[in-house]
Amino acid sequence: MKKITLFLIGALCSINLKSQEKSILLKQEFKPNSKYEMIIKTSVNGEMEFIGDEEFKKVLEKQLGSDKMLMKSNNEISISINTSDKKGNETPFVWEYDIKENSSSINGRELPQKSKDALKNLEIIGKYINDNEMNIEDIRSESMDESMRAMLKDMLKEMNYSVKFPTKELKIGDTFTQEIPLKINIPSAGDMKFKIITNYKLSKIENKLAHFDLIQSFTLDSDIKMINMDATGNGDGKAIFDFSENVMKSVITDLKMKMTVEIKENIKMINNSSSHSEILTQKIK
């Protein structure tokens, strides 16, 4: 009888542990008095084909050696996030940027890079509200003018790299969607409007890590003087959330994109074969 009782207790404990593993409440948060390190690597490969004015194509071919543009870029940015004492529901933070790699080329010719200087000694000052809602108060930079700082502030307001998980527990196979609209104003030119939609599907819970399969879509529309631009993209990826630290440990996405740029009434650039890959890793130190 004693053996049967111990067996039943063991079986019930096993069932309880398994049920706990298969259902979990997740929330991304930035803890006070902590340091986070985020690394973002992006890789873009694409080909732009020119359609229209033959004279323009001849000039382009003379300058580039081809009437097509083969574009490549590789970038790696390191972001240190330092938080301080929490006051009420607000946690102050400072973001510090450092560019590790920044290269791009057209038809094999390396292009001069100015973004490294633009991000030199760049600091983003603000507060996390309720642990993960980012409120930017100031942008400090030696090289950015006021319009550039305003544009960066608008971008970061939406793309703060925080995932808004559902307020209910998730179990294996559950899905949720996050939509990020983004509007960038280019001074004296117009607006560029982006929309990124990501579908998350919980695929595994293991070792205090929640694994997600991603399906992502992307759209771009513009209202810029003398240029019409639109783009669409679709792809997939993987994400891993560390719920012992409440931080997104890694996100890997791979998008296939199509873009059309109309420069003048009779000149178009069409991109039917572009890929955009991004790897984001984050850890608390």
Q: Is it the case that residue 173 has pLDDT exceeding 90?
A: yes
Q: What is the mean pLDDT of residues 238-248?
A: 95
Pair 97, 117: CB distance under 8 Å: no
pLDDT at residue 249 is higher than 90: yes
Please determine, for residue 265, whether its predicted confidence score (pLDDT) is greater than 80. no
> Which of 45-59, 82-96, 159-173, 187-201 has the weakest average pLDDT?
45-59
Q: How does DSSP assign 69-99, residue by residue?
A: EEEEEEEEEEEEEEE---BTTEEEEEEEEEE
| Beta partners for residue 210, in sequence order | 205, 241
Confidence of residue 92 (pLDDT cuts 50, 70, 90): very high
* pLDDT at res. 18: 45
Lowest mean pLDDT among 117-121, 167-171, 225-229: 117-121
* Average pLDDT, rounded, for the chain: 83
Average pLDDT value for residue range 83-87:
94
Retrieve residue 54's tokens.
Answer: 């033959």
- Predicted local distance difference test score (pLDDT) of residue 14: 45
Model confidence at 16, pLDDT cuts 50, 70, 90, reads very low
Q: How many CA atoms lie within 13 A of 90 on its CB side?
A: 8
Answer whether residue 273 shows pLDDT above 70: no
What DSSP string describes the chain?
A: -HHHHHHHHHHHHHHHHHHHHTEE-------TT-EEEEEEEEEEEEEEEEEE-HHHHHHHHHHHSSSEEEEEEEEEEEEEEEE---BTTEEEEEEEEEEEEEEEEETTEEPP--HHHHTTT-EEEEEEETTTEEEEEEEE-SS--HHHHHHHHHHHHH--S-----SS-EETT-EEEEEEEEEEEETTTEEEEEEEEEEEEEEEEETTEEEEEEEEEEEEEEEETTBEEEEEEEEEEEEEEETTTTEEEEEEEEEEEEEEEEEETTEEEEEEEEEEEEEEEEEE-
